[in-house]
C-alpha cells in the first residue's frame, strides 16, 4: 500500500525515540520522508546515530495508518501541516538546530512575518505587569509586529488579548495538539486569534498534556521570534526557559525591571544582572535596540548607489540584496542571494570590515 509523502512526513515525527534532529538526519541521508520508510533495515543501521530500536520502529506500518488519520483530521479542521523542507515553514525556526521537523498551524498569518516578538512572563501576573503589557502593545500598535506567546495564564494571555485589542496579529504556541485547548478558559480568545493570527504546535491531535511538553513549546516561542520580552518572572519557570532558548538561538532578549525584592521581577533582574537580557523601560527602547524605530527604518545612505569598491560576484549579490532596502534581516539576505547562512555571515563580515555594510542589533544589516 502506497502513501502520500505528507503521510510519511507526519509518521516520521510520531515515532517514539525519533526527535527532530534524528528525523532531519534520516531525511538528509535518504532523500525524503518516504524513502526513510522504504529503506531496508540494514541500510538504516548504516546511518550515524541510528540504532536498532529506531530502525525497527521504522518498519512498523501502524504509524503510517495513524499519520494518515491525522492528515485527514487536519484537512477537516483546516490545519496546515508544515514540514521543515516546505517553503512555508518559518525561516527563523529553520536556523534553530533543534527546531521541530513538522508544525501544525491553524490561522491566517505568515509565519515569516516581517517583525515577530515573543512576550512571556509569570502565570501570576500582577496589576503592574498587566498594565505594562497593555501599554507595551499599545505602543507597538503602529509597528505591524506579530506577537507570539504561549496562551497560558498570566502575562501570556494578557499579551494575546492586548494585541487583539490594538489590531496586531498574535500567535499562541501550544503544548498539545489542536484538537483541544488548555487552559479552556482561553477558548474565546483563541478563536479570535485564529482570525487575527493563529495557533501553532508541533504536537499531533490526541497528544496528552504532559509537563515535559511545555519546555518543548517554549523553544518554538523563542525560535519563531526576532526577540523575546520578559515582562514579569520569578527566578525559575517557563519564561526563564524561553529566555534561555532565545539566548541559545542568538536572539535578543529584553526584560523589564521591577522593584528590588519583588519576587515577581526576580527573574527579570537575574537575566539583566547576568547580561542575558537588556534592561528596557518602554517600547521605544526595544524599537531602537532592534533598529525598528522610524528614524532607522527610513535611513538610507546616499552612498548606496555610489559603491565602486572592487567586489567579487558573491559580494555583489549580497550588496544587491541590501541596496535600497533600508534595514534587512539576515534571513532575507540568504533568501535573496540563494546562499546558506554560514556563507552569508562570512561575506557580511568581510563587507563590514571594508566599510560597505553596517551590522545592526537584531541581526539586521544595511549599506553604509
Which 8-state DSSP code applies to residue 296? H
User: What whole-number percentage of the chain has pLDDT above 90?
Assistant: 64
Classify burial at 103, counting beta carbons within 10 Å of its beta carbon; exposed 0-12, middle 13-18, buried 19 or more. buried
Last residue of a domain, one of 289, 304, 328: 289
Can you give the CATH number for the domain in which 71 is found? 1.10.150.20
Amino acid 299: pLDDT: 40
Is residue 99 included in any domain, yes or no? no
Does residue 294 register a pLDDT over 80? no
What is the C-alpha separation between 115 and 170, in angstroms, rounded? 12
What is the C-alpha separation between 84 and 335, in angstroms, rounded? 16
> What tens digit of pLDDT does each residue of 192-250 get?
999 999 999 999 999 988 999 999 999 999 999 999 999 999 999 999 999 999 999 98
Is residue 81 included in any domain, yes or no? no
Q: Do 21 and 121 lie in a common domain?
A: no
Q: Do 184 and 145 lie in a common domain?
A: yes
Amino acid 324: pLDDT: 63
> What tens digit of pLDDT does each residue of 333-368 get?
888 888 888 788 888 888 887 888 888 766 778 887
Last residue of a domain, one of 233, 257, 289: 289
Q: Do 171 and 300 lie in a common domain?
A: no
Amino acid 300: pLDDT: 40
Q: How confident is the model at residue 307 (pLDDT cuts 50, 70, 90)?
A: very low
Name every residue whose Cβ is closer than 8 Å to that of residue 352 and which is 6 or more positions away in sequence: 358, 359
Task: Find cell 499579551 and name the residue.
Answer: 159
This prediction's pTM: 0.80
Is residue 97 included in any domain, yes or no? no
Q: Which domain holds residue 358?
A: 296-367
Is residue 102 included in any domain, yes or no? no
| Residue 154: its H or E element | none
Name every residue whose Cβ is closer than 8 Å to that of residue 248 and which is 6 or more positions away in sequence: none
Q: Do 357 and 229 lie in a common domain?
A: no
Is residue 274 included in any domain, yes or no? yes
Q: Do 217 and 194 lie in a common domain?
A: yes
Report residue 312 CA to chain centroid gap: 34
Q: Do 262 and 230 lie in a common domain?
A: yes
What is the C-alpha separation between 107 and 196, in angstroms, rounded? 7
Instruction: Give the up-direction half-sphere exposure of residue 308: CA atoms within 13 A in the CB hemisphere.
Output: 1
Q: Do 129 and 271 lie in a common domain?
A: yes
| Nine cell digits for residue 29 | 541521508
| Residue 66: its H or E element | helix 62-76
What is the C-alpha separation between 18 and 9, in angstroms, rounded? 12
Q: Give all strands of the β-sheet with 364-367 in edge-to-edge order.
A: 328-329, 364-367, 357-360
Last residue of a domain, one of 220, 254, 289: 289
Q: Give the number of other CB atoms < 10 A from CB of residue 42.
A: 8
| Nine cell digits for residue 295 | 528614524
User: How many structural domains compose the chain?
Assistant: 3
> What tens digit of pLDDT does each residue of 74-95 get?
999 999 999 999 999 999 999 8
| Nine cell digits for residue 83 | 514540514
Conformation bin of residue 357: beta by default, left when phi > 0, alpha when psi is -120 to 50: beta
Amino acid at each position: 500500500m502506497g502513501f502520500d509523502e505528507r503521510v510519511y512526513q507526519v509518521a516520521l515525527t510520531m515515532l517514539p525515540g525519533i526527535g527532530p534532529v534524528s528525523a532531519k538526519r534520516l531525511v538528509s541521508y535518504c532523500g525524503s520522508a518516504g524513502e526513510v520508510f522504504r529503506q531496508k533495515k540494514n541500510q538504516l543501521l548504516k546511518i550515524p546515530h541510528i540504532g536498532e530500536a529506531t530502525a525497527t520502529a521504522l518498519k512498523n506500518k501502524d504509524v503510517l495508518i495513524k499519520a494518515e488519520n491525522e492528515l485527514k483530521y487536519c484537512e477537516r479542521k483546516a490545519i496546515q501541516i508544515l514540514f521543515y523542507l516546505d517553503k512555508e515553514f518559518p525561516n527563523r525556526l529553520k536556523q534553530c538546530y533543534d527546531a521541530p521537523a513538522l508544525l501544525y498551524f491553524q490561522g491566517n498569518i505568515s509565519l515569516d512575518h516581517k517583525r515577530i516578538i515573543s512576550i512571556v512572563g509569570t502565570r501570576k501576573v500582577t496589576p503592574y505587569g498587566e498594565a505594562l503589557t497593555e501599554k507595551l502593545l499599545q505602543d507597538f500598535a503602529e509597528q505591524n509586529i506579530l506577537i507570539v506567546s504561549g496562551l497560558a495564564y498570566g502575562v501570556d494571555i494578557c499579551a494575546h488579548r492586548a494585541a487583539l485589542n490594538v489590531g496586531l496579529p498574535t500567535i499562541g504556541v501550544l503544548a498539545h495538539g489542536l484538537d483541544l485547548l488548555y487552559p479552556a478558559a482561553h477558548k474565546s480568545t483563541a478563536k479570535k486569534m485564529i482570525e487575527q493570527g493563529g495557533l501553532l504546535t508541533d504536537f499531533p491531535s490526541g497528544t496528552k498534556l504532559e509537563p515535559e511538553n511545555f519546555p518543548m513549546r517554549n523553544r518554538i516561542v523563542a525560535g519563531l521570534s526576532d526577540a523575546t520580552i520578559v515582562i514579569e518572572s520569578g527566578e525559575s519557570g517557563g519564561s526563564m526557559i524561553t529566555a534561555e532558548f532565545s539566548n541559545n538561538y542568538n536572539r535578543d532578549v529584553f526584560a523589564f525591571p521591577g522593584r528590588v525584592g519583588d519576587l515577581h521581577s526576580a527573574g527579570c533582574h537575574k537575566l539583566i544582572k547576568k547580561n542575558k537580557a537588556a534592561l528596557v523601560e518602554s517600547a521605544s527602547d526595544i524599537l531602537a535596540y532592534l533598529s525598528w524605530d522610524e528614524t532607522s527604518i527610513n535611513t538610507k545612505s546616499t552612498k548606496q548607489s555610489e559603491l565602486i569598491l572592487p567586489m567579487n560576484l558573491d559580494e555583489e549579490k549580497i550588496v544587491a540584496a541590501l541596496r535600497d532596502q533600508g534595514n534587512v534581516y539576515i534571513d532575507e539576505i540568504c533568501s535573496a542571494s540563494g546562499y546558506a547562512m554560514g556563507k552569508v555571515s562570512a561575506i557580511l563580515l568581510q563587507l563590514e570590515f571594508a566599510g560597505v555594510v553596517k551590522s545592526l542589533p537584531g541581526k539586521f544589516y544595511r549599506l553604509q
